[in-house]
Amino acid sequence: MDTVHRLTLGDLAREHRRSRPGGTAAVDGDERLSYVDLDDRANRVANALAAAGVGTGDRVLWLGQTSARVLELLLGCAKLGAVLCPANARQSADELRFVLGDLDPRVVVWQSALGDAAREVRDARFIEAGDEYRAWLDAASPTDDERSVDPGLPVLALYTAAFDGRPNAALLSHTALLAHSVSIGWIRQIEPGFTYLNSGPLFHVGTMMFCLATFHLGGTNVFTPGFVPAEVCRLIERERCTSAFLYGPMLDQLVEANTGEDGKARRDLSSLHFSAGSDAWNAMITVDESPWGRALGGYGQSEVAGMLTFTGLGLGALGSHGRPSPFAQVRIVDAGGAEVPAGEVGEMVARGPIMFSGYWNRAELNAAKQAGGWHHTGDLARRESDGTITFIGPKLRMIKSGGENVYPAEVERALTTHPGIKEAAVIGVPDERWGQTVKAVVVASDPSLTAEDVVAHVRERIASYKKPSHVVFTGALPRRGFTPDYDALDEAHGGGGYPIV
C-alpha cells in the first residue's frame, strides 16, 4: 500500500488529537468529548471489535437513535478496516430481520428500547448501547495500533430506497467521505467553531454528510436522539449551534415551540445560520449568506456520499439544481449511454472520488449501476445552455399519460409557486384511458384553497396534459430525509403504473 498518500477517517481522528486537543468534538446529553477523548473512544472501539473477531471488510451494525456512539463506532471501524452501518431503527421487525440477514454483521450495537426481535436472527455479538456498551469500551485498551488501512476500502454502509424491490446497502469509502466533506465544508463555510446539531437520523446521508464535514474540519457535533422541537431549541441556545439538520415543516414546529404566549422568543436561536423562511423564523435566527444558505440543497443521493450538484453553484442561472461538486464529472446520456445535447432530457451519470463503491452483496446490480465506467444515478436531468443542471425526476417515477412524458418535479415546481401551497408532491395513478394520470398531494397554507384553484394554477404555467387530474389535500407529506417519501405516497393514494424507462 502507498502509505505516503494515505488518509483515512482514522488518520484524521489521530491528526485532530494532535492539532485540536482542546477542541470539543462531540456533545451528547451531558457528555462532552474533546478530540483527544474521541480518538481514545475510537481506539477502544477498534480494539474491542478486534477482540470480537471483527477484521477488514466485516460489518458492524448500529440499531438505535441519533447518538455520538455512531461517530465513535464509525471511527473505530475506520481504524480497523471494518464497515459501520447505522440502520433505520424505526423499521418493522421483519425489515430489521432482512437487514441483519443481508448485512451479516459480526457485531450489533443496539438500544434495548427496540425489543428483542432482531436478536433472534443471526449469530452476531449483540451489545446493548447503554451500560453494556460502556463496560465493553472500558474493558478495551485505548492504545492505537495504527493499523494500515486502505482509504479506498468501504467504511460506511447506508441502506437506500428499495428501488429494485429490496433495500440495498451503498458502500462508501474513506476517500469518498473525505472528499465529500471538503466540498460540503467549502460551500457551507465550515471552520473550527462551527457547531452542528444532528437533529436528523444518522442512517440518512443528509444528516451524516454534515456530521462528517463538521468532524473533518474541526467543528463540534451535537447529538439529540430525535426531533423534539422544544429540546432542539434548548440545545441550539445552550450549545450556540451554527447549523442543524432541518427542513420546511421542522422550521414551523420550531417557531411554534419557541414562541411564548407574549409573542416573544422563549430561547435565543440567533447563533443558528440558516436559510431564510417566514418572517417569524428569520427574526429568531441569523439568515445564512453562504452559497449553501442562499440556495439550500441541490441534487444528491447516498451513492454519491451526499450531494452531486449544489444549487448554490448556480445562483441566478438557468438550471434548478446548480452545478456539480468540485469532486465530480457529470454527463446527461441517452439509453445507449451517448451524451445528449444541452436542453435534452437524459439520465444523469457521474464519476469521481465521491462515488460509492457499489452495493453490498449485489454483483449484478453493481454491474448495471457502474456500466461504462460511470455511476448511473437512475435519475433524469437536463443540462441547460449555461452549463447548469435541472433535475427532472427518477426514471422509475416518470409518468406516462396519453403517450406523453410527465416529470413529477416539473409539476411540483409549478404547484409550489402558488402562494397558498406550502408544499406538494406528485405521483402517477393508473388510468384505463390514459395509462396514467397525475395526482397532486398538497399541503395548503390557505384553508380556502380548492382543487379547482390548484389545477387552474398549474394549467397556466405548464402544458395542459401535465396538470393534475386529481388533487388531494393533506396535513403533511411523509418524508424520507429531505424529500417526500414517494413509496408511502403511492401506497396511501393509489399511485402506480410507472413505465419502465
CB atoms within 10 A of CB 206: 20
pLDDT of 500 reads 64
Answer whether residue 499 is part of any domain: no
CATH of the domain at 151: 3.40.50.12780
Same domain, 164 and 198: yes
Domain boundary among 363, 394, 425: 394
Same domain, 240 and 144: no
Answer whether residue 364 is part of any domain: yes
Answer whether residue 221 is part of any domain: no
> How many domains, in total, are found in the chain?
4
Q: DSSP labels for 320-345?
A: TT-EE-TT-EEEEE-TTSPBPPTT-E
pLDDT of 295 reads 86
Answer whether residue 331 is part of any domain: yes
pLDDT of 120 reads 54
Same domain, 478 and 333: no
Local confidence band at 266 (pLDDT 50, 70, 90 cut-offs): very high
Same domain, 280 and 356: no
Local confidence band at 330 (pLDDT 50, 70, 90 cut-offs): very high
Q: Give CA–CA dist 273/289, Å, rounded.
A: 8
Same domain, 80 and 182: yes
Same domain, 319 and 188: no
Residue that has been written with the C-alpha cell 465530480 in this structure? 328
Residue 118 has pLDDT above 70, yes or no: no
Same domain, 238 and 350: no
pLDDT of 155 reads 99
Q: Give CA–CA dist 14/146, Å, rounded.
A: 9
Average pLDDT over residues 72-79: 99
pTM for this one? 0.85
Same domain, 98 and 200: yes
Residue that has been written with the C-alpha cell 408511502 in this structure? 488
3-state helix/strand/coil string of 87-154: ECCCCCHHHHHHHHHHHCCCEEEECHHHCCHHHHCCCCEEEECCHHHHHHHHCCCCCCCCCCCCCCCE
pLDDT of 354 reads 98
Range of the domain at 51: 3-214
Answer whether residue 105 is part of any domain: yes
Same domain, 76 and 171: yes
* Digit-coded pLDDT (tens) for 358-410: 999 999 999 999 999 999 999 999 999 999 999 988 887 889 888 788 888 88
CATH of the domain at 469: 3.30.300.30
Answer whether residue 500 is part of any domain: no
**Joined grid coordinates for residue 466:** 401535465
Answer whether residue 334 is part of any domain: yes
User: Are residues 148 and 4 in contact, defined by beta-carbon separation less than 8 angstroms?
Assistant: no
Same domain, 140 and 21: yes
Mean of the per-residue pLDDT values for the chain?
Answer: 93
pLDDT of 50 reads 98
User: Are residues 268 and 281 in contact, defined by beta-carbon separation less than 8 angstroms?
Assistant: no
Domain boundary among 214, 241, 276: 214
Answer whether residue 300 is part of any domain: no
CATH of the domain at 381: 2.30.38.10
Same domain, 285 and 319: no
Same domain, 123 and 37: yes
Identify which of 429, 419, 399, 396 has the alpha carbon closest to the alpha carbon of residue 411.
399
Domain boundary among 345, 373, 394: 394
